[in-house]
Structures are given as structure tokens and as C-alpha cells.
């Protein structure tokens, strides 16, 4: 029999309203008692008495046994989540930066207080990848996990390659539609998919990794020369987070733009959609596809977590217990395209080998092998204006 949930919700933005829209169509054993919001003066679609700016009205209410956290501020979200778990309340969150940054501490809090933190909505919207990694793949040997984890950057790239728009025009359209923020660097710079990759790596490989140590380079330096190169080779460019076990004890993690061939299943993942590609020893290759953003898709993932809490569901983090010898590593070579402006760059960045060089009046690029360690060490000079780096197909 399901347990009744009395919910306190932080945030009533796009995802919060999307979640409420779904809940009101269902006959579920739950009640939303209170919403904590930041702006008390904003007009709401629900009665005013349901809203407050006082966090303690939820966190110190003994009748509320479940906290749903859907705010943008990662630091505030962490404090809310930490206090809720410590006071015996279960938590559902969709804040990928907060979870990625503090996952080890949050896991310890759950174990200490016997509470549950679920966060399916934090990774790839409506795609149920976390629960599958926890349950379906719990005894599987995972070779790699990659995909398209960010709908904003994928929308921009789709407009560029399918409709011939410039990067600037595609970005502006994404901002107009609400897919990208006024300052879009979290998406186009690869930070958002990096936080999601950090969470995925935890459930896939049993790793707690500081996201600040993971390489992320984005599509924000993309220009017409790179697009022309891709078209000449019949490639598209996608922003790809990648996790791969490279030995019995090491896993590499990084986020880079990648040239994708037509035979890749990711080639036709377009617009704001996401796709997760899992390659495993026994299950072979499996692909998850769906909406990666939006109030209703993400709201559906949040609701699935809420529903699971009615039956006492918790992440068991089994791979953390069984994979003590696995560690995050950077001793991995990649085949890369580097379009650059200043000749001094090639003096400062050490390629292991170069197979192709191109010079013209307007653009220069090299293709060669370089270690992940070298890219991390030199990322600041590689990522300067006038340069663009992307991985070649493998």
C-alpha cells in the first residue's frame, strides 16, 4: 500500500507549474501543502495562501514529509536539501549543478538519517536514465555512456545544420523560445551536460567526481569555417558528454563538441531532444530518446520520483560499494580537430601526432592526437577567442 505524501515545494516556475499541471490530472495519494517562492508579488494561478517566501514554513512543518526542490540557485538548493534530509524529510530535486557538486555528502546524509533523495529530472528531462542505471544495469559491465544531454545547444546546432542559420541567429531564436538563457554559457559552454555527466558517472560506475575536474569545452566558439568543414565531410556537430571505462580500474569523463557521422544514432537527434547511448558488455548497445527540457517533460520525471517515494524507493548506490577500485582518470588520447588563429598555440599545445594541416587566408586547422591531460592543462589557451576544438568520429 502506498504511503500518503504531504509535499512542500520550492519553486513554481516552468518545471513547478508543469509538475502541478500533471498532478492535478491524476488521482494520487498526495497533497501539496505549501509552495515557497522568491517573488511574493508575482501573480500566480493558485490561491495566494498556498505561497510563502519563508523556507522554514516547509522545513519545520512536521506534517510535510516530502520536499520537492525546483529552484535555480544551486547553493540555496543545497541548503534546503541538506536541512530537509537531516530532519527526516525525503527530497525530490531537478537541480543538476547542486547534485553533481554535493552528491557524496548528500549520499552520506541519506544513509545517516534514513531518508531518500531522488533526482531523475536532473538528467535529460523525461528520459529515465538514472533509474535504469540503478536498476536495469546494476550488475552490468558498462563500456561507455554518451549522448546529447543538453537541449539548448542541440537546438542551436540543429538550426545551423538543418536550416543553414548562423550560430548567432540560432542562439537568438533559442533564447526567444526559452531554450537558452540570456547568458547561455552554462549550455553552450558545456557546463550543464558536465553536471549531468557527473551524476550519470556516479550511477554507472560508482564514482564521486568533482565536476570542476572534468573537461568541458562547448560550441560557443563555433564559426562558419567549422561548419563548412563538417559539411564537406558529411558530418554534423553535436555537444557530447562521454564516459568510458578504459581499464579495469579507470574511467574517463569529458564534454566536447564532436563530429558525428550519418551512421551514428545521435546524428538524427534534433532540436531540444536528448539521447543517451549506453554500450554494455551483455546488453550490448541501447539508446534512450526523449524531450530533454520543458515543464511537462521534466515535470513527468519529477512526478515519477514522487510516485516512487510513496513506496519507499531509495537509490542504493550499489556500484559505489562494489567498485571501490574504479577511479577517474585523464590518461586517454583523443583524435581532435583544432581550428586556431595564433600560430603560437601549436607551440604551446603538445599534439602526440598531427595527420592533417590546413592553412588559408581566413582559417587554419590541424587534426591529430592529443591527450586528455594536455587539453585539461591547456584548456584556457585552447578555448580562447578564435579557436574551436572538436573530437573526430571514432
> Which residues are part of the catalytic machinery?
196
For the four alpha carbons of 340, 346, 350 and 353, in that order, the dihedral sign comes to: positive
Phi, psi of 351 (to 5 degrees): -80, 140
Q: Please list the residues that pair with 338 across neighbouring strands.
A: 366, 389
Distance CA 256, CA 194 (A): 10
Write out the three cell numbers for 242. Answer: 562521454
Q: How far apart are alpha carbons 98 and 334 in whole angstroms?
A: 30
Q: Are 292 and 125 in contact (CB under 8 A)?
A: yes
C-alpha cell at 208: 564521486
What whole-number distance in Å separates Cα of residue 134 and Cα of residue 318? 8
Is residue 124 a contact partner of residue 276, using CB atoms and an 8 Å limit?
yes
- Dihedral angle at the C-alpha atoms of 69, 147, 380, 331, nearest 10 degrees? 110
Burial class of residue 269, CB neighbours in 10 A (0-12, 13-18, 19+): buried
Measure the CA dihedral 275/278/284/287, to 10°. Answer: -10
CB distance 255 to 217 below 8 Å: yes
Instruction: Provide the 8-state DSSP code for 33.
Output: E
Pairing mode, strands 117-118 and 250-260: unpaired
Sequence-separated (6 or more) residues with CB below 8 Å from residue 170 = 155, 156, 157, 159, 160
When computed from its CA atoms, the radius of gyration of the chain, rounded to whole angstroms, is 22
Amino acid at each position: 500500500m502506498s504511503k500518503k505524501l504531504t509535499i512542500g515545494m520550492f519553486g513554481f516556475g516552468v518545471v513547478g507549474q508543469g509538475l502541478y499541471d500533471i498532478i492535478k490530472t491524476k488521482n494520487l495519494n498526495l497533497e501539496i501543502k505549501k509552495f515557497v517562492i522568491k517573488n511574493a508579488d508575482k501573480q500566480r494561478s493558485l490561491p495566494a495562501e498556498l505561497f510563502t517566501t519563508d523556507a522554514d514554513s516547509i522545513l519545520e512543518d512536521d506534517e510535510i514529509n516530502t520536499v520537492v526542490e525546483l529552484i535555480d540557485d544551486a547553493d540555496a538548493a543545497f541548503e534546503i536539501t541538506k536541512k530537509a534530509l537531516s530532519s527526516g524529510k525525503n527530497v525530490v530535486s531537478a537541480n543538476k549543478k547542486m547534485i553533481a557538486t554535493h552528491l557524496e555528502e548528500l549520499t552520506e546524509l541519506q544513509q545517516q538519517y534514513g531518508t531518500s533523495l531522488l533526482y531523475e529530472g536532473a538528467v535529460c528531462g523525461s528520459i529515465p536514465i538514472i533509474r535504469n542505471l540503478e536498476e536495469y544495469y546494476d550488475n552490468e559491465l558498462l563500456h561507455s555512456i554518451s549522448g546529447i544531454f543538453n537541449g539548448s545547444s542541440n537546438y542551436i546546432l540543429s538550426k545551423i545544420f538543418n536550416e543553414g542559420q548562423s550560430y548567432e541567429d540560432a542562439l537568438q531564436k533559442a533564447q526567444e523560445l526559452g531554450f537558452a538563457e540570456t547568458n547561455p554559457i552554462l549550455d553552450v559552454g558545456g557546463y550543464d551536460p558536465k553536471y549531468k555527466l557527473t551524476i550519470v558517472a556516479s550511477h554507472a560506475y560508482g564514482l564521486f567526481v568533482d565536476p570542476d575536474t572534468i573537461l568541458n569545452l562547448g560550441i560557443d566558439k563555433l564559426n562558419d569555417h567549422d561548419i563548412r568543414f563538417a559539411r564537406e565531410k558529411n558530418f554534423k556537430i553535436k555537444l557530447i558528454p562521454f564516459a568510458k571505462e578504459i581499464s579495469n580500474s579507470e574511467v574517463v569523463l569529458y564534454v566536447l563538441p564532436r563530429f558525428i557521422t550519418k551512421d551514428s544514432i545521435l546524428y538524427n537527434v534534433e532540436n531540444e531532444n536528448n539521447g543517451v547511448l549506453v554500450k554494455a558488455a551483455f546488453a550490448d548497445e541501447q539508446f534512450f530518446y526523449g524531450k530533454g527540457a520543458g515543464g511537462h517533460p521534466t515535470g513527468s520525471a519529477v512526478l515519477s520520483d514522487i510516485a516512487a517515494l510513496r513506496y519507499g524507493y531509495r537509490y542504493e548506490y550499489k556500484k559505489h560499494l562494489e567498485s571501490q577500485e574504479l577511479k577517474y582518470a585523464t590518461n586517454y588520447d583523443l583524435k581532435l580537430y583544432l581550428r586556431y588563429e595564433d600560430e603560437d598555440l601549436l607551440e604551446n599545445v603538445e599534439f602526440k601526432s598531427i595527420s592533417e594541416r590546413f592553412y588559408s587566408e581566413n582559417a587554419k586547422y590541424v587534426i591529430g592526437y592529443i591527450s586528455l591531460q594536455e587539453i585539461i592543462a591547456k584548456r584556457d589557451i585552447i578555448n580562447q577567442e578564435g579557436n574551436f576544438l572538436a573530437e573526430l568520429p571514432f
